[in-house]
Structure 1
Amino acid sequence: MPLTNVQAKRLSTLSIAFAIAAGGLVPYSASYAASHHAAKPAAQNKKPAASAPASAPAAAPAATAGGQPALAAKAWLLMDFDSGEVLGSDNADEPLPPASLTKMMTSFLVEQALRSGKLKKEDLVSVSQNAWCRGSSTESCMYLPLNSQATVIDILRGIIIQSGNDASKAIAEHMAGSEENFAKLMNAEAQRLGMTHTHFVNATGLPDPQHRSSARDLAILARAIIHDSADFYPIYAEREFKYNNIKQGNRNALLYTDPTVDGLKTGHTQEAGFCLVTSSKRNGMRLITVILNTNSAQARADQTRTLLGWGFSNFEKATPIQPNTVVTAAKVSFGKADTVPAVLESSWAVTVPRGQQVQTAVQIKPDLEAPVAKGAVIGKVVATSNGKQVGETPLVAQADVERAGFLLRMWQHVMKWFGK
C-alpha cells in the first residue's frame, strides 16, 4: 500500500534518526543483540507494603438468596467480612442511637494507639471525678475507684467486656485531654473508614440527640476492628473480666451458646433499645451482623442467630481463579518483552448465593509501558454473579520487564504509528 505524505515524512525523519543512532552504536550492536535475548534473573520478591486499614466497602446492590428474614428490629444488616459486601439488610443507613456499640470506636482507637506505640499496655490511666462511675443502675461500669490508676490493657478489657463507661471516659481523657476532644478523634476515624451516617458526641454511647450511627456504619467499624486489631480481637470473645474484685460477664449471650461467634459488642439504652454486633466464622467464611433497636436482650440474641443461620445457609465462598494461575499475558509497550504474565496479588474468594455461578472479566491498565517491576499492580479481575458485581482483586506482574534500548523503542514507535 503506498505511503501517505505524512507517513513518508515520518519515515524520512526516522531514517535520519536511525542513521545518526546507528553511527554511534555500531561498535556495540553485537553485544546489544546478545543482551536483548539474554534472560534476566528473576528479581527477589519484595515484601509487600503494609495493607491499609479496612475501609468502607464499595457501594453495590445487596445480594439476596432464599428471601431475607423478617426481623423485629428497627434496622439490621448482614455483611461478608472478606469483601465487605452487604448480603442482606433493612433500614441500613438510618442514623440511630447506638448506645454502647459506640464503645467499639473507643476500643478501636485504643487498639490503634497500642499498635502504633502511642500507648503501651502497662501505661497507667488515671480515674478523674468526671470518669468515675458511681454505680447507678442507669449505666454499666468497670468500677474503677476514684483517683485510682489502671493499666491501658485493663481499661481496654473493661471497655470491651464490662462495657464500662468509667473506663471509656478515663481513656478518652488520657488520650485526648477531654471526652469532647476524644469525640473529635472518633469522628475523624469514622470519616476515614467511610462511616457516612455517624456522628459521635461521647466515648460511651450515653444518650445525646446528636449521637448517631447506622447499621451499615457499625458493620464497617466491626470489619475494621477484626481486620486491623488482630492482636486484640480475641478480647471481644472473652466471657468475663474481674477487676477491683468484681467479676462481670460479657453481655453477648451468643459467646456462651455459639462457639463460632467471637465478638463483638452489645448495647442498650431506653432510646436505643437492645442492640448487638456480632461476628461468626464457619467453614472459612466470616459474617458480621448488626441488630439495632429490638425489644429485649433475648430478642437481639435470637434475631442474630436467625440472621447468621440465614447467611450461612444461603451463601457460600467461591474461588473464581486459583492462586498462582497466569490470568492473562498483559501487553507491554517499549519493553524488552512484549508481554508480561499477570497473576493474582493474593488468594481470592467471593461470597455468592449457594449454587450460583461466578463470571470474571480481566481489566489491564491501558498503555502499559516498561519498565514494569515484578509485583506491580497492572490491572484487576472483576467477578460477577447473576449480573451483579460480587468482588474484584488486583492483578500484578509475575516478572520484571526492562525498558528496551533506544533502537528497539524507536522501532516500536514506528510500528505504533503504522498501526502495527
Structure 2
Amino acid sequence: MARADGPRTANGPRTGGGPRADGPGTGDEGPVGGSGRRFAPWLPGVLIVGGVAFDLSTPPPYTAAPFLAAAPLIAAPLHPLRLTALAGALAVAAACLLAEFHGVRDWAQSATEIATVVTVALLALLINRIVRRGSKRLASARGIAEAAQRAVLPVPPARLAGLDVAARYVAAERDAAIGGDLYAVQDTPHGVRMVIGDVRGKGLGSVEVVAIVIGAFREAAEQEATLEGLTLRLERALQRERARRADIEQAEGFITAVLAEIPRGDSQLRMINRGHPAPLLLDGEGAVRQADPEVPALPLGMGDLGAWPDRVEELPFAEGVTLLLFTDGVSEARDAQGTFYDPAVRLRGRRFAGPVELLDALVADVERHTGGGTADDMALLALRRAPVAPGVDRGR
C-alpha cells in the first residue's frame, strides 16, 4: 500500500501517527472480563475499519497492513470457518482498494503488502480448522468427564428420608470435572449414611481411589449394621486395591474422611472422623458448632501402621439443624495475605433458607476470600433435618 509520493513501511515511526494504546491492545485485555468477552467477536471488524481509517488519516510512511492481517487471525479462534473466510476476504479487499485509492507507484511494495494479508488470511483458515477440531475434542473430553462425575459423584436427591440435602463439587482446575475429593449420601435400612473425603494425591490415580471408595461405600452402607463396620469395610477396600494394583501409589491410598449416619426417627447424629476437617452444625438462629472428634484418628488406608477401634461420636441433631461437611479445599483456602478461610467464623450469625442456599453462599464466600480461585478442590455436603407438621410421616 504505497501512496503516490513514495513507498510506505509497516514499521514506521510512532510519533503522532502510530497505533493508539486503546486500539488493538484493548482486544487483548477484553476477553478477561464480561464486557471484553462481548466485544471480542467484533474485534476483526474493528481492526479492518480501524486499519482503513488509520491508513487514510496518517502520512504515507504508515501502512494499514498489520491491522488488516490481524483481523482474520483474530477471527480464527473466535468464529466459524465462514466468518473467518469473510474476515480474510474483507481484509484483502480493503488492502487492494487502499492501494488503488492512493495510486500505486511502487508495485513491489504494494504487492508485498497485499500478499502478506492474503497469506495471513489463508493461515487463519488453517488455524480455524485446527482450533475447531481441538474444541470438538475438548467438548468430547468434557462430556466424558461430566458423565464420569455423574457416575462417581451423582447429585443426591433434594429430599431424602425427611432430610433436605445438597452437595457441591468445585474443582480447582478450571476445566476439570472431578478430582481427589469425594462425597456420597445414601438412604439405607440403618438410616441415612454419608461420607465425605479427600484423597492424598493428585491426578488420575486419586480419581481411581475415589471410585474405589465410593463403590465400597455404596455396598457396605447397605450391609453393615454399625458405622464402625462400615468404616472397616472402606479400610479393607483400600488395602485390598493397593495390594492388587501396583499403580496405586502409597500416598494416594490415604484418605481423610468423615463417615456419619442419621438413624431414621432418631434425633442423634453419629460420626467417625478419620483425620478430616471437623463438620459444622448450624441451627436456625445463626449459631455454629464445630464437631471436633474427642480422639484424633489416622486417615483411611493407614491401617498398616496399627489397629485401633473407631470411636463413634454422638451429637444431638434436632429439627432445623444443618450438618455441613466439607473438604480442606474450604478450610485451607487463603486470601492474598495468606489467611486461611474459617467457615465457622464466616457462617456464624447467618441464616439460610436451606442446604442449597447455604452451599451457594459458602462457595461464593470462599471465592471472595481467595480472590476468585482456590488451590484445591472443594467437596461440600449439607443435610438439614427439616421441621415437619404434626401427624406427617417421616418415612422414605
- Same fold, TM-score > 0.5, yes or no: no
**Structure with greater helix percent:** 2
TM-score range, shorter chain: under 0.3
TM norm structure 1: 0.23
User: Quick check: which has more Rg, 1 or 2?
Assistant: 2
Q: TM-score, normalized by length of structure 2?
A: 0.25
